[in-house]
Structure 1
Amino acid sequence: MPQPELPEPAHPEVDSMLSRKFGKEVANYFSGSPLNRVSFLRTDHSFLLAALKHPSTSFLLFDNLSPLAKDPTQLEYVNFDDVKPLIGENPYSKSEEAMIAEYNSTITIPQLLFLGLDESKRSGFEHNIYYGSPYFALDVTPKGSVKSEAEKLIEITKSRGLQFVEGRMHMSLPAPQAAIYAQARALLDWNARNPFCAGCGQPTLSINAGTKRTCPPKDMASVTNRSAIGSTTAEPPAKERPDCVTRKGISNLCFPRTDPTVIMAVLSADSERVLLGRQKRWPPYWYSTLAGFVEPAESVEEAVRREVWEESGVKLGRVVIHSTQPWPYPANLMIGAIGQCVPGGEEIHLKHDPELENAKWVSMAEVKEALEVGTSGLGEDAGPGYKEGGLRLPSRTAIANQLLTAVTGGFLEEHSHAPKM
């Protein structure tokens, strides 16, 4: 499958002190979203309702985290009339305070996310000084009290020749769509993983247009249950829930989680070779850069040095940040770095952390050739010109490819970033 184009860097045409010194910004796959998130409007229900019902609004549907699409290279959207039977005429009719006060844990509320405004589309939607085509994401996984409505919506989309594209990863979308998909998938996955409060174990409520969860102090389910059995006792109107630490002070919300991860191109002390590793599950001859999670109270540079030593035994000195990449599986931020060995620190041994099957030093020339003919996604064929037995590397949608392209393409040469006059 052809590899999609990468997103455009931010303002590549602007000349500045920083661009002259460091070069233009590097944009990786899953970044470069066309949407202005206007996050400060997520509590403004009048704005959300107007955006929800505007003719230009697009809804991206997910079924078990699989996005609605025409095929693996093209997302598809539906409109408000399509989703109205599932979410209702006005899911933002009440303020967040009222939603929390009237919380009922027995009622299934379809997870709806506001993603942002596409300002490149002058569609007629405006709110004060903000404009653009609104985008929402909606989880239509059939469950709970809305199972029937969700199943009907899924059948409607299938009758139009659309599908929910399954797969562990989606790496064939055009760059702008990939960024929208990544934002929606990460938030839907986070909401699905946090139905209960970490402080007291009670069910939580999604608020702030899907970007926060709160632990309500009361549950109207008790009122519903008593009405169902015809109770006439003079009990309190709603069940008070146990005290919860999340309702004390100002930190009374659960926010989406992002896990920082380091991924690094490692150079030998003489800058002539690159360290690559492979895991046992990868196809033959397939290698990549090393990676690992940042731990609490650890700088990015320290995490790079620690992970490289733990996985390969190699000792690093100077570490620099190259670029970053959102990675919505489920919610990582990959921090791309370049590190260089200290003299005498290049010996490889895999005795610390047995994560890698093998690690080896590869010449710059071999890496360059593999970047030209041997790149692919896992399970895909290499590019034209590849000869069996040659080095295989990740596709350009992976930040590992960007890092290797940088170190073999002059990124570290003195003054290489300055634009030519």
Structure 2
Amino acid sequence: MPPQPSLPEAAHAELDSMLSRKFGREVANYFSGSPLNRVSFLRTNHEFITKALTHPSTSFLLFNDLSPLATDPTKLAYAKHEDVRELIGDNPFEKSEEELVKEYNSSVTLPLVLFLGLDERKNGGFEHGIYKGQAFFAVDVTPRGTVEKQASAVIEAMKKKGLQFIEGRVHMTLNAPEAAIYAQARALLDWNARNPFCGGCGQPTLSVNAGTKRTCPPTDFSSLANAQGATTTLETPRERLACVTRKGISNLSFPRTDPTVIMAVVSHDAKRVLLGRQKRWPPYWYSTLAGFCEPAESVEEAVRREVWEESGVHLGRVVIHSTQPWPYPANLMIGAIGQALPDGEGIHLEHDPELEDAKWVPIDEVREALKVGTSGLGDPASEGYKEGNLRLPPKTAIANQLLTAVVGGFLEVGEVSKI
């Protein structure tokens, strides 16, 4: 089995406070714990963005079709401005949003450049007022549109340096700090790629605010496509169709985050844990139940509903344990622990056919599986596993953290888990 990366350090883990004494230390999950200060309020500050982008210390994380550039599956690789200048130009942020909107031409591909934040621990000489550190950007180098040739050249240059774009649906082998940087970049790149057209009128949109918003311009220098899809550039812009997003408060579309509940469910006597499995999973591989929150539904209500829909079990008390960003494509996993009602532990799968099986598993069996039976879906079980025993998700999954909390007895500050 591949070595599992370490988890991020919890914020202020050693600080004694009223809240830590009452509720325990904060739990940090994989894909969280970013070393970057996002300084999101500076994304519209063109002086700041320009200085950050062109500074010699600045790092650029490149993505080809959502695959990140890396030295190996555990470590990202970063480019410099000169490596991507042919693709993005000297400064893609030199013009204000108003200027970009006025000059908008939907037939011209503008490379997507995202500002991720500042690593204030690294002093590369970049400063802007009170803000300093090493700036990080992400660039989409997927060959497409009018910059296909330039993007392909960047990709080939990176490969000649011995670097690789790590392919795969899910990347969970990166070291913890870089996993958080990757998660932020991937989520934003994916959102931009999925929203090339306006949700109000269906016309092409423009990325602004360093990749974190999209707008629907009122004019376009591109003519309408002909039957063959070809367009021409006009001398003066044409008026686009009216759009509801240009009326009212603003004409911006923001990245989405989909709240998702995932829960470790304990029996009423607290001696068993409810686990489920999907048909496509490896033999003996189980996990906690999960599902999306619905509109006008609290997290606690979503936990109870999803558990009942998938397993037939009725829950009483529900508490929030921790959360995990999940950039596939834009989920926020809200980890919870719930306890079954004394007369609500019966399992039946007739409501929602998502699960192939669900069962109550003794705490001791879960504890043993956390020691020797964890792995990713496509990986072999950890050393010491015996065929036929329970298998569980790796520690990079929030499901593992929830189960660890349950078998550890919801430890008070200063206690040590026996697993």
Q: TM-score, normalised by structure 1?
A: 0.95
Shift of 1:251: 3.4
SS at the partner of 2:383?
A: coil
Whether the 8 Å contact between 2:222 and 2:232 is mirrored in structure 1 is: no
- Any residues of structure 2 matched to 1:241-256 within 5 Å, and which? 241-256=240-255
**Residue from 392, 412, 417 that aligns with 2:412:** 417
- Any residues of structure 2 matched to 1:69-88 within 5 Å, and which? 69-88=70-89
Whether the 8 Å contact between 2:31 and 2:180 is mirrored in structure 1 is: yes
The aligned amino acid for 1:164 is F
SS at the partner of 1:5?
A: coil
Q: Distance in 2 between matches of 1:13 and 1:304?
A: 31
Q: Distance in 2 between matches of 1:166 and 1:78?
A: 18
Shift of 1:252: 1.5
User: Is 2:53 aligned against 1:52?
Assistant: yes
User: Is 2:140 aligned against 1:153?
Assistant: no
- Any residues of structure 2 matched to 1:11-50 within 5 Å, and which? 11-50=12-51
Whether the 8 Å contact between 1:218 and 1:240 is mirrored in structure 2 is: yes
- Any residues of structure 2 matched to 1:327-346 within 5 Å, and which? 327-346=326-345
CA deviation vs aligned residue, 1:287-312 (integer Å, no higher than 9, x gap): 00000000000000000000000000
Aligned position for 2:217: 216
Q: Distance in 2 between matches of 1:383 and 1:146?
A: 45
Q: Distance in 1 between matches of 2:40 and 2:194?
A: 22
* Matched pairs, number: 410
Q: Structure 1 regions of 5+ residues with no counterpart? A: none
Per mean C-alpha deviation after superposition, the further-off stretch among 247-256 and 390-399 is 247-256
SS at the partner of 1:189?
A: helix
SS at the partner of 1:89?
A: coil
Whether the 8 Å contact between 2:286 and 2:391 is mirrored in structure 1 is: yes
CA deviation vs aligned residue, 1:333-357 (integer Å, no higher than 9, x gap): 0000000011110000000001000
Runs of 4+ in 1 over 3 A off after TM superposition: 222-225, 228-231
Aligned position for 1:162: 163
Q: Distance in 2 between matches of 1:358 and 1:33?
A: 36
- Any residues of structure 2 matched to 1:16-415 within 5 Å, and which? 16-222=17-223, 237-411=236-410
SS at the partner of 1:36?
A: coil
Per mean C-alpha deviation after superposition, the further-off stretch among 198-207 and 7-16 is 7-16
Shift of 1:6: 0.1
The aligned amino acid for 2:372 is V
The aligned amino acid for 1:133 is Q
CA deviation vs aligned residue, 1:216-274 (integer Å, no higher than 9, x gap): 0110124999xx9899xxxx921111111111111321000110000000010000000
CA deviation vs aligned residue, 1:180-218 (integer Å, no higher than 9, x gap): 000000000000000000000110000000000000011
Whether the 8 Å contact between 2:223 and 2:232 is mirrored in structure 1 is: no
> Quick one: percent identity of the two aligned structures?
73
Whether the 8 Å contact between 1:223 and 1:238 is mirrored in structure 2 is: no
Shift of 1:176: 0.3
Q: Distance in 2 between matches of 1:122 and 1:21?
A: 38
> What's the C-alpha RMSD, in Å, of the aligned pairs?
1.6
Q: Distance in 2 between matches of 1:13 and 1:346?
A: 39
Per mean C-alpha deviation after superposition, the further-off stretch among 371-380 and 87-96 is 87-96
The aligned amino acid for 2:154 is L
Whether the 8 Å contact between 1:373 and 1:385 is mirrored in structure 2 is: yes
Q: Distance in 1 between matches of 2:138 and 2:211?
A: 10
The aligned amino acid for 1:417 is E
Q: Distance in 1 between matches of 2:91 and 2:264?
A: 50
SS at the partner of 1:260?
A: strand
Q: Distance in 2 between matches of 1:357 and 1:223?
A: 50
Q: Distance in 1 between matches of 2:224 and 2:275?
A: 61
Q: Distance in 2 between matches of 1:212 and 1:256?
A: 7
CA deviation vs aligned residue, 1:51-83 (integer Å, no higher than 9, x gap): 001111000000000000111111100000001
The aligned amino acid for 1:400 is A
Cα 1:157–1:364 shift into 2, 3 Å: same
Q: Distance in 2 between matches of 1:381 and 1:329?
A: 23
Q: Distance in 2 between matches of 1:3 and 1:172?
A: 7
Whether the 8 Å contact between 2:67 and 2:165 is mirrored in structure 1 is: yes
Q: Distance in 2 between matches of 1:314 and 1:67?
A: 41
Shift of 1:14: 1.3
Q: Distance in 2 between matches of 1:346 and 1:222?
A: 63
Q: Distance in 1 between matches of 2:188 and 2:178?
A: 16
Whether the 8 Å contact between 1:51 and 1:125 is mirrored in structure 2 is: yes
Q: Distance in 2 between matches of 1:348 and 1:121?
A: 53
Shift of 1:418: 3.6
Shift of 1:123: 1.3
Whether the 8 Å contact between 1:20 and 1:419 is mirrored in structure 2 is: no
The aligned amino acid for 2:273 is V
CA deviation vs aligned residue, 1:349-375 (integer Å, no higher than 9, x gap): 000001000000000000000000000
Q: Distance in 2 between matches of 1:40 and 1:23?
A: 32
Per mean C-alpha deviation after superposition, the further-off stretch among 87-96 and 285-294 is 87-96
The aligned amino acid for 1:297 is A
Whether the 8 Å contact between 2:222 and 2:233 is mirrored in structure 1 is: no
The aligned amino acid for 2:319 is V
